[in-house]
Amino acid sequence: MASLTETFIHALELLVSGDEKLWTIIGVSFRVSLLALMTAAIPATLIGFVLAYWRFPGRWLLLSMTHTLMAVPTVVVGLILFMLLSRSGPLGDWRLLFTQDAMIIGQILLCLPLLVSMTHTAFQSADKRAWETARMLGGHPLRCLWVLMHEVRYALIASLVAAFARIIAEVGCAMMVGGNILNYTRNITTAIALETLKGEYAQGIALGLVLFLLAMVLNLGMALLRGRGQLRNR
């Protein structure tokens, strides 16, 4: 086994040299996670808003369920989705198992509860007068919602960042419904798991570095947003 330093240098070489296999894996990760995030963002924001501003029977139950689903392990979501999408499952005819679409569905299910919970908190903490004033001044409901979203924009962006971080770093669901197929469904986390088992540490570390850099950029971005959010005075 090569030393840690040698492996690390090899990993950097792989990244810098533009190794096709490596960058395809990174591409799959970003494509799947970004599509899942974009699909989940709008319904999650609307649900978060409704939970924050409407009182209806079952609201408390829905909120509790959302919070519970946030804590469900990714492999459990993967397992349920696997059973639904497998040939003998109720959605077997869709033939989605071991495709990127299945991975996207899995990641939507993973990030939706987190997004709903965080957007709900954001809307609840918003100045209610923003929504009320927009309404009183004759605004279309969607325009009023836009005003409110602008009021809590930093918290909403933070929720998107947190959800993206959760899904791009998950391994259980992607492994189960994606199948870890090279150049198709192999993403960063499933590739790290596989390469480590094969003893190919350099690629694992290179991919790990990408995730680390991503986490750093996201955290720095969040810190900047928090700073700007706190500086606001209205």
Partner 1 sequence: MTSELNLELADPKNRLKVTAVAHIKGLKHAWNRDRVLFDIDDAIWLKGQVVWLQGENGTGKSTLMRLMAGLEGVQQGAVSFPWHNTGWLRARGRGQICYLHQTPYLFAGTVQKNLDFVLNNLPRKRRAQALERLEHGLEMAALTHLVEQDASTLSGGERQRLALLRAWLLQPRVLLLDEPAANLDHKSVTLMKHIVLNLLEKNTDIMLSSHQNCDLTSLCNHAWQIENGLLYA
Give contact residues for partner 1 (rule: CB under 8 A).
55, 127, 129-130, 132-141, 143, 147, 150-151, 233-234
Cα gap 211→213, rounded to integer Å: 5
Cα gap 148→150, rounded to integer Å: 5
Cα gap 199→204, rounded to integer Å: 9
Closest distance of CB 126 from partner 1, Å: 11
Q: Which is nearer to partner 1, 67 or 153 (CB)?
A: 153
Cα gap 26→189, rounded to integer Å: 10
Closest distance of CB 58 from partner 1, Å: 17
Q: Which is nearer to partner 1, 62 or 147 (CB)?
A: 147
Q: Which is nearer to partner 1, 16 or 142 (CB)?
A: 142
Closest distance of CB 136 from partner 1, Å: 5
Half-sphere exposure of 204 (CA within 13 A, CB side): 13
201 and 7 Cβ atoms separated by less than 8 Å: yes
Cα gap 189→35, rounded to integer Å: 17
Closest distance of CB 141 from partner 1, Å: 6
Closest distance of CB 137 from partner 1, Å: 5
Q: Which is nearer to partner 1, 10 or 153 (CB)?
A: 153
34 and 214 Cβ atoms separated by less than 8 Å: no
DSSP tag of 99? S
Q: Which is nearer to partner 1, 13 or 127 (CB)?
A: 127
